């Protein structure tokens, strides 16, 4: 087999996802509205095939494959993140089926754009070159811009898409400018060559520092950390609920995966000005995210500001550095995926034709109407708050332990204080669900069986990881040796 054929085999999962996305987009115009679900099952089939291929490869942990002259590196680290991305994408599609039917959004391109966004994320987590990272980031971002505005009858959805596009384009420009500076300094866009050049010049070089800051700003917009968070609440509120779930989870996981690979390999986070930059961002995100969430009456906006705070928590572990921090970040993101998908999944299941169920009033007395759904949402919120017996508790504990091992006590203190603040707005939603409300006319609520099954599975996983996290931690220690 030629070298070119070998390269294509290395990126076979990416090719399968892109081919499935193109097939969905081609079949969409000729598929009747009543049969659009077939496109969803086609998408799920492609994900199942990729899970089989990638899962088979991950058992051979010491094998490191590269393609296209080391532009892409497929190792255990990349395979681990790709498997997570497949799983969350599949859950999003399953939750979307009843939602799209109730909203009468017979749009097959929804599944095509989900797969295209996923392919961009897959490239990001396996990229060994800044231009490859940029291409993957843009493929992901452009797909998400379109998905945010798929609810064309809603002005809020169209506004969300436009806002996301404008600010996202601005952040992409900054990211590309940072890449161009690093290329000028090192003569290469390969991560290894850049790390070597930075090691020679040192971060004291003003151009190296400026380039590093520009990359941090570009990635900061994608992560929605303060002060690059302006788009987050409006986009989360305006986008359809399943899209918001997808946007809030996998896109941020992919960004953090490549941040670990780039910054840890270059040693950037150990340089004091870079450390201070991320420390300021982490502190601002934890404080502003939690404080602004206290003022919200919209569930989506509460979860939006909550996600900003959680990115701040993750940056505490990122600042710690070392293997303990890498493991803490990986476990935290898994717990965050489960809880956030579950929380937005409840919103998705409760949403009916006209609008999403995103106001606090929609959840008043929910326990007395849908006790199972209210109990699941309660567990998800408690996990986000870091309450014991949930995955969120051990995730936050691992972040604190990583920070303590590095001696960053100031960041840990702010994490603890802001976590207590966060508990108030999570409990506010819980109290609303369990409160008795005066008798009204029976409220018609949608019943989405596939979404409910997904929520039950997520709840079981949430409690399992909270009670017995050792198995998954051992997996992480094996495949995330950063």
> What is the residue-wise DSSP string for 8-63?
HHHTHHHHHHHHHHHHHHHHGGGS-GGGTHHHHHHHHHHHHHHHHHHHHHHTSTT-
Q: Average pLDDT in the 78-94 region?
A: 88
At residue 191, does pLDDT exceed 70? yes
Distances, alpha carbon 54 to alpha carbons 327, 330, 378, in Å: 21, 18, 34
pLDDT at residue 305, rounded to an integer: 92
Q: How many CA atoms lie within 13 A of 111 on its CB side?
A: 34
d(CA 158, CA 350): 22
Q: Which of 117, 139, 14, 22 is nearest to 67 (CA)?
A: 14
Inside any domain, residue 3: no
Inside any domain, residue 429: yes
pLDDT tens column, 26-39 = 888 887 877 878 88
pLDDT at residue 256, rounded to an integer: 85
261-266: long-range contacts, CB 8 A cutoff, minimum separation 24: 261/77, 261/125, 261/191, 261/482, 262/133, 262/191, 262/215, 263/318, 264/321, 264/326, 264/482, 265/191, 265/192, 265/195, 266/191, 266/194, 266/195, 266/198, 266/199
Inside any domain, residue 438: yes
pLDDT at residue 447, rounded to an integer: 52
- For 52, the token pair is 């089989």
pLDDT at residue 268, rounded to an integer: 62
Residue labelled with tokens 């919209």? 298
Q: Average pLDDT in the 103-123 region?
A: 85
Q: How many CA atoms lie within 13 A of 112 on its CB side?
A: 17
Q: Which of 17-21, 163-167, 271-275, 437-441 has the lowest mean pLDDT?
A: 437-441
Residue labelled with tokens 């290894």? 192
Inside any domain, residue 315: yes
Q: Average pLDDT in the 67-78 region?
A: 78
Return the higher-pLDDT residue of 367 and 479.
367
> Cβ atoms within 10 A of the Cβ of 193, count?
16
* Distance, CA of 90 to chain centre: 14
CB proximity list for 295: less than 8 A, separation 6 or greater: none
Mean pLDDT score of the chain, rounded to an integer? 83
> Cβ atoms within 10 A of the Cβ of 240, count?
25
Decide if 149 contacts 248 (C-beta within 8 A): no
Domain that holds residue 354: 271-482
pLDDT at residue 3, rounded to an integer: 62
- What's the pLDDT band for 441 if we cut at 50, 70, 90? very low
pTM: 0.90
Inside any domain, residue 451: yes
At residue 94, does pLDDT exceed 80? yes
pLDDT tens column, 309-332 = 999 999 998 888 777 888 888 899
At residue 396, does pLDDT exceed 50? yes
Inside any domain, residue 295: yes
- What's the pLDDT band for 66 if we cut at 50, 70, 90? confident
pLDDT tens column, 365-378 = 888 888 888 899 99
d(CA 358, CA 156): 13
- What's the pLDDT band for 192 if we cut at 50, 70, 90? confident
Inside any domain, residue 43: no
Inside any domain, residue 149: no
DSSP secondary structure, 214-249, as one string:
HHHHHHHHHHT-TTS-TTHHHHHHHS-HHHHHHHHH
pLDDT tens column, 236-288 = 888 888 888 888 888 888 888 888 877 766 666 667 777 888 889 999 999 99
> Cβ atoms within 10 A of the Cβ of 401, count?
18
DSSP secondary structure, 97-121, as one string:
HHHHHHTT---THHHHHHHHHHHHH
pLDDT tens column, 326-361 = 888 889 999 999 999 988 888 888 876 666 777 888
Q: Is the dihedral of CA 398, 459, 253, 309 positive or negative?
A: negative
d(CA 412, CA 418): 10
- For 85, the token pair is 């991305």
**Which 8-state DSSP code applies to residue 187?**
S
d(CA 118, CA 123): 9
44 burial class (0-12, 13-18, 19+ CB within 10 angstroms)?
middle
Q: What percent of the chain has pLDDT over 70?
A: 89
Give the bridge partners for 355, in sequence order.
352
d(CA 390, CA 395): 9
Q: Which of 230, 71, 46, 251 is nearest to 143 (CA)?
A: 251
Number of domains in the chain: 1
């Amino acid at each position: 087999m030629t070298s070119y054929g070998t390269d294509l085999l290395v990126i076979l999962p990416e090719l399968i996802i892109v081919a499935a996305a193109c097939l969905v987009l081609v079949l969409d115009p000729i598929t009747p509205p009543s049969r659009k679900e077939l496109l969803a099952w086609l998408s799920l089939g492609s994900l199942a095939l990729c899970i089989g291929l990638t899962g088979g490869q991950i058992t051979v942990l010491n094998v490191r494959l590269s393609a296209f002259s080391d532009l892409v590196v497929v190792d255990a680290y990349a395979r681990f993140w790709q498997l997570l991305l497949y799983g969350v994408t599949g859950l999003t599609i399953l939750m979307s089926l009843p939602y799209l039917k109730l909203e009468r959004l017979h749009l097959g391109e929804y599944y095509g754009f989900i797969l295209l966004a996923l392919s961009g994320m897959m490239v990001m987590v396996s990229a060994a070159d800044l231009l490859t990272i940029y291409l993957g980031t843009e493929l992901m971002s452009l797909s998400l811009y379109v998905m945010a505005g798929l609810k064309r009858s809603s002005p809020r959805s169209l506004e969300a898409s436009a806002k996301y596009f404008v600010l996202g384009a601005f952040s992409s420009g900054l990211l590309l400018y940072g890449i161009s500076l690093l290329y000028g300094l090192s003569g290469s866009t390969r991560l290894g060559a850049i790390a070597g050049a930075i090691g020679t010049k040192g971060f004291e070089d003003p151009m190296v520092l400026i380039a590093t800051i520009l990359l941090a700003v570009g990635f900061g917009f994608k992560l929605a950390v303060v002060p690059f968070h302006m788009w987050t609440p409006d986009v989360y509120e305006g986008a359809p609920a399943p899209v918001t779930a997808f946007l809030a989870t996998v896109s941020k996981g992919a960004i953090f995966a490549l941040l670990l690979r780039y910054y840890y390999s270059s040693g950037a986070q150990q340089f004091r000005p870079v450390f201070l930059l991320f420390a300021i961002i982490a502190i601002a995100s934890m404080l502003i995210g939690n404080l602004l969430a206290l003022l919200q009456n919209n569930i989506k906006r509460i979860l939006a500001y909550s996600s900003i705070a959680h990115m701040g928590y993750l940056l505490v572990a990122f600042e710690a550095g070392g293997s303990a921090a890498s493991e803490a970040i990986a476990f935290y993101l898994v717990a965050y995926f489960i809880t956030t998908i579950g929380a937005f999944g409840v919103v998705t299941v409760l949403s009916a034709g006209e609008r999403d169920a995103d106001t606090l009033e929609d959840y008043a007395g929910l326990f007395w109407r849908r006790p199972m759904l209210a109990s699941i949402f309660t567990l998800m919120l408690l996990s986000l708050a870091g309450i014991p017996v949930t995955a969120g508790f051990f995730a936050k504990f691992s972040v604190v332990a990583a920070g303590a091992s590095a001696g960053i006590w100031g960041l840990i203190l702010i994490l603890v204080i802001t976590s207590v603040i966060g508990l108030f707005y999570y409990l506010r939603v819980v109290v609303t669900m369990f409160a008795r409300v005066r008798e009204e006319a029976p409220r018609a609520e949608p019943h989405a069986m596939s979404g409910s099954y997904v929520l039950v599975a997520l709840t079981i996983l949430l409690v399992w990881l909270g009670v017995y996290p050792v198995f998954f931690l051992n997996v992480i220690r094996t495949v995330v040796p950063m």
